[in-house]
């Protein structure tokens, strides 16, 4: 759905896409930094062996639960908050503009939670070292997957305006 070049909604969506791009690129930068730090031996592993495996599993479970709970709660808040707000607006664009602030807040919270999974991957690499590079890469991949699949969407905003 295109609202024209001068539309307030179009400008707001562009700003939201910029925020999403910055958050997504920060995960890519963290992955590069983690790879460089661990392969160059710039940090010594803090935990080793079986302890490192347990730490990585614990961080992984925490990251997964945090992301899942955050996503579900934000989705429920967004859906519940928009139910009665749109009755006084006639056009779809007015309804979408009315819901945009809430949609933007929910998106930024979701993306921050998804980004935190990548940051946890960087923490794992610093704690466990190069021996656990594959585990760190898995954190970054999961983070990027969630970020890419939850990018800003006019369709999602439109669903909330109905």
Average pLDDT per 10 consecutive residues for the chain, totaling 162 residues: 62 93 95 91 81 86 84 74 60 78 86 91 86 88 92 82 66
Residue 144 has a pLDDT of 94
Give me 116's structure tokens.
């935190």
Please give the DSSP secondary-structure letter assigned to residue 49: H
Q: Is residue 27 within 8 Å of 77, Cβ to Cβ?
A: no
Q: Is residue 113 within 8 Å of 45, Cβ to Cβ?
A: no
Residue 85 has a pLDDT of 59
Residue 6 has a pLDDT of 45
Residue 26 has a pLDDT of 95
Residue 153 has a pLDDT of 87
Q: Which residues contact 59 (CB under 8 A, 6 or more apart)?
A: 120, 123, 124
């Amino acid at each position: 759905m295109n609202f024209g070049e001068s539309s307030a909604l179009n400008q707001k969506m562009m700003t939201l896409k910029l925020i999403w791009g910055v958050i997504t690129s920060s995960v890519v930068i963290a992955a590069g930094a983690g790879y460089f730090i661990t392969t160059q031996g710039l940090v010594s592993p803090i935990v080793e062996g079986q302890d490192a495996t347990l730490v990585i599993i614990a961080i992984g479970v925490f990251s997964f639960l945090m992301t899942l709970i955050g996503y579900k709660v934000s989705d429920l808040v967004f859906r519940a908050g928009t139910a009665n707000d749109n009755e006084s607006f006639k056009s779809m664009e007015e309804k979408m503009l009315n819901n945009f602030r809430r949609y933007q807040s929910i998106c930024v919270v979701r993306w921050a939670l998804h980004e935190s999974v990548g940051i946890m991957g960087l923490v794992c690499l610093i704690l466990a070292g190069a021996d656990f590079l594959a585990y760190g890469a898995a954190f970054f991949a999961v983070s990027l997957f969630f970020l890419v699949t939850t990018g800003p969407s006019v369709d999602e905003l439109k669903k909330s305006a109905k």
